[in-house]
Amino acid sequence: MKTFAATTFAATVLSASTASAGLITTASKPVFDSIAANLALQVSEETFDAYEGFTASPTTGTVGGVSWTASASGGLLSRGGVFSTARPGTAIQFTFSEPVNALAGTFFATATDFTPVPAILVAILSDGTTWANLTGPAEPYGNFVGFVSPNGATISSITLNFSPTTAYASVGSLWVGVVPAPGSVALLGAAALIGVRRRRA
């Protein structure tokens, strides 16, 4: 069983005090979904199922019309929907082609064989918001954290660091939330209006 030095843990938790007052942070997927829905954000999920094996850094993808770029020293490695660094003890960073209003993921650390291991996660957003937590064996949403902006602030990147340095930074899913384009809003409004007229008919 791995243990962590008290001083290391204390320093990590203290760093979390830099969290921004402009973002809501939650470790609950249902709460994240509810807040995003109340803000009328369009949330899309990247499952990383399309990635398998080693890919050079940076690696790119698209989710919900937003392009993302993942970078890690030594490259990236994927297996069975788990997106990971190819080198232990290195951070993984996601940047987005356009700032997003909500960002969430299942973040955890893995061993060489992709088995989840206990670790301390420190997530740092582009605005300086820092979140720290202990992560363990991955369960559905068990290592979930979400960030939502209720006031129009945006997120352009997230960097994930894990301790101990023998662990590989890993992501199971990534969710991004954006304000729908005007055309999408108009279509949603038209669909709602048609539904109301049908019910009245």
Question: How does pLDDT run across 104-142, given as a tens digit for each residue?
Answer: 999 999 999 998 999 999 999 999 999 998 888 755 556
Question: What is the band of 78 on the pLDDT scale with cuts at 50, 70, 90?
Answer: very high
As a whole number, the mean pLDDT across the chain is 82
135 occurs within a structural domain:
yes
Do 98 and 64 meet the contact criterion of CB atoms below 8 Å apart?
no
59 occurs within a structural domain:
yes
CA 127 – CA 119 distance, rounded (Å): 24
**Position 189, amino acid:** G
184 occurs within a structural domain:
yes
Number of domains in the chain: 1
1 occurs within a structural domain:
no
32 occurs within a structural domain:
yes
Examine the pLDDT at 39 and tell me if it is beyond 50.
Answer: yes
Buried b (16+ CB within 10 A) or exposed e, 136-168: eebeebebbbbbbbeeebbbebbbbbbbbeebb
192 occurs within a structural domain:
yes
CA 91 – CA 49 distance, rounded (Å): 21
CATH number of residue 41's parent domain: 2.60.120.260
- DSSP letter at 57 equals S
Domain containing 111 equals: 6-200
